[in-house]
Amino acid sequence: MIDLRSDTVTRPTAGMRAAIAAAEVGDEQMREDPSVNALQERAAVLLGQERALFLPTATMANQIALKLHSRPGDVLIAHEHSHILTYEFGGAAVHAGLLTVGLPGAAGRLTAAQVTRAAASAQGVVDQQPSVLVVENTHNIAGGRVWPLDELDAVVGAAHAGGLGVHMDGARLLNAAVALRVPAADIGSRVDTVTLCLSKGLGCPLGAILAGPTDLIAAAWRQKFLFGGAMRQAGIIAAAALYALDHHVARLAVDHERARRLAEAWHAAGLPVELDRVETNFVQLDTSRLDLSQSETIAALREVGVLLSPTLGETHIRAVTHLDLDDADIDRAIDLASEALGEHVHA
Ligand SMILES: Cc1ncc(COP(=O)(O)O)c(C=O)c1O
């Protein structure tokens, strides 16, 4: 099987497993794990923030961030298709007690005018305080789309002018940095707090970072305990992350090149790929242009040995390139999918 469902399917490489085996560890809850401490210091610099906190998952990092920026009853503003509104099981309401305003926007992005309007209208309703804006970069459901820095600045400026804190769900922030050819800190320093996931393109078995100003990350440490995320010899995972930061960041460009090659070849074979949407390691196929449903398309591909996954409602599926694939896998996925789906395309 050629597994293109997600960049989360990667397994630790031999080099990463060796780093895990050699990890120096201590009790993380007592702040004595040298590998966790080293990772946190390095991640803060990487993301252009004062401090960073190691957490088990990016979902936990996002959920803690919401609590840092708000009080129960406040309003969260985000793109309607953001991970935080669609895949985190209502966590914004459950953990932070937030009302949510989901806004539409091309490529998973919002405009400054939208943010200004949403902040004002939320404030107009009794004492509901819009307190946090979440931007997602790269944007998962939109197809791994990247925020241009000027658009990001405009939206952050509008949020700050409206009194909102800005959290970036940068689960794939390093893909954005590689695509824009800028240091990750140029992106991470533009927002108040930022999540980075270690178990996607970076290839770690688990783990995430929440970075931000010293006072907020001190508050986040307490939340980490409350969420049950304070660990013990977590250095075995932090060592994997340190290894990934050394060996798996620059190579994200290879994932992006492979996604582009896959997209261009499928497009040339007549499959419904919107090429201008391919900016990082995601390729989306529009199944409304096939005479198969979304699930039938996924089943037909599985039959020939290619795994894709659903995204964006019932009309799109996605292929995601990652560390566990090579050029030969991409060549085979090009041929197998073109053959399996070619006869099902309609105008
Ligand atoms: C944009 C985005 N944010 C957050 C997450 C959550 O990551 P985790 O599985 O580490 O909780 C994901 C996972 O797919 C994601 O795509």
Mean pLDDT per block of 10 residues along the chain (347 residues) reads 98 98 97 98 98 98 98 96 96 96 97 94 70 98 98 98 97 98 98 98 98 98 97 98 98 98 97 95 96 96 98 92 98 97 88
Is residue 229 located within the same domain as residue 273? no
Count of domains for the chain: 2
* 177 shares a domain with 35: yes
Q: How far is CA 52 from each of CA 37, 44, 209, 297, rounded to the nearest angstrom?
A: 9, 5, 6, 42
C-alpha 96/C-alpha 62 separation (Å) is 11
Give the CA-trace dihedral at 268, 271, 274, 280, to 10 degrees.
-80
- How remote is the CA of residue 195 from the centroid of ligand 1, in Å? 9
DSSP state of 307: E
> What is the pLDDT at residue 347?
67
Give the H/E segment covering residue 77.
Answer: strand 75-79
Residues 231 and 291 in one domain: no
Q: Give the range of the structural domain holding residue 283, as residue numbers without chain letter.
A: 251-344
CA 339 to chain centre: 31
Pair type for strands 99-103 and 130-136: unpaired
**What pLDDT score does 126 carry?**
62
Compute the distance between CA of residue 181 and CA of residue 143 in angstroms, rounded to an integer.
19
Which of 247, 282, 300 finishes a domain?
247
Q: At what angle do helices 34-46 and 235-247 cross, to 10 degrees?
A: 40
CATH of residue 265's domain is 3.90.1150.10
**212: domain CATH number?**
3.40.640.10
- Are 255 and 315 part of one and the same domain? yes
Residues 91 and 132 in one domain: yes
The closest-lying atom of ligand 1 relative to the alpha carbon of residue 199 is: 10
Supply the pLDDT for residue 255: 98
Instruction: Count how many Cα atoms sit within 13 Å of the Cα of residue 103 in the half-sphere of its side chain.
Output: 25
Q: Are residues 220 and 260 in the same domain?
A: no
Q: Are residues 258 and 234 in the same domain?
A: no
User: Domain for residue 307, yes or no?
Assistant: yes
What pLDDT shows up at residue 346?
84
Mutation test residue for ligand 1: of 5, 83, 206, the one with most atoms within 8 Å of CB: 83
Mutate to test the pocket of ligand 1, among 9, 79, 81, 87 (most ligand atoms within 8 A of CB): 87
Question: Could you give the residue ranges of the DSSP H alpha helices within the chain?
Answer: 14-21, 34-46, 58-68, 83-86, 91-96, 112-124, 149-161, 173-180, 184-188, 214-226, 235-247, 252-268, 294-303, 327-341
- For 311, the enclosing helix (H) or strand (E) is strand 309-311
Q: For residue 119, what pLDDT is reported?
A: 87
Q: What is the pLDDT of residue 312?
A: 77
Q: Which residues does ligand 1 sit against, CB inside 6 Å?
A: 57-59, 62, 83, 136, 140, 169, 171, 197, 199, 208
C-beta separation of 259 from 6 below 8 A: no
- Let me know whether 198 and 264 are in one domain: no
* 69 and 207 belong to one structural domain: yes
Q: Among 247, 263, 279, where does a domain finish?
A: 247
For residues 220 and 328, membership in a common domain is answered with no
Residue 41 CB partners (closer than 8 Å, separation 6+): 52
Residue 232 tokens, joined: 């013990």
Query: Cα–Cα distance between 70 and 72 in angstroms, integer?
Result: 7
Nearest CA among 282, 283, 261 for reference residue 331: 261
Cα separation, 141 vs 133, in Å, equals: 18
Helix H or strand E segment including 55 = strand 51-55
How far is the centre of ligand 1, averaged over its atoms, from the C-alpha of 8 (Å)?
Answer: 9
pLDDT of residue 62: 98
Q: Please give the Cα distance from 289 to 342 (Å, whole number).
A: 11
Q: How far is the CA of 270 from the centre of ligand 1 (A)?
A: 32
Among candidate residues 247, 272, 292, the one where a domain is terminated: 247
Atom of ligand 1 at shortest range from CA of 82? 1
C-alpha gyration radius of the chain: 20
- The reply to whether 242 and 311 lie within a common domain is no
Tell me, yes or no, whether 187 lies in a domain. yes
C-alpha span between 95 and 202 (Å, rounded):
28
Specify if 188 maps to a domain: yes
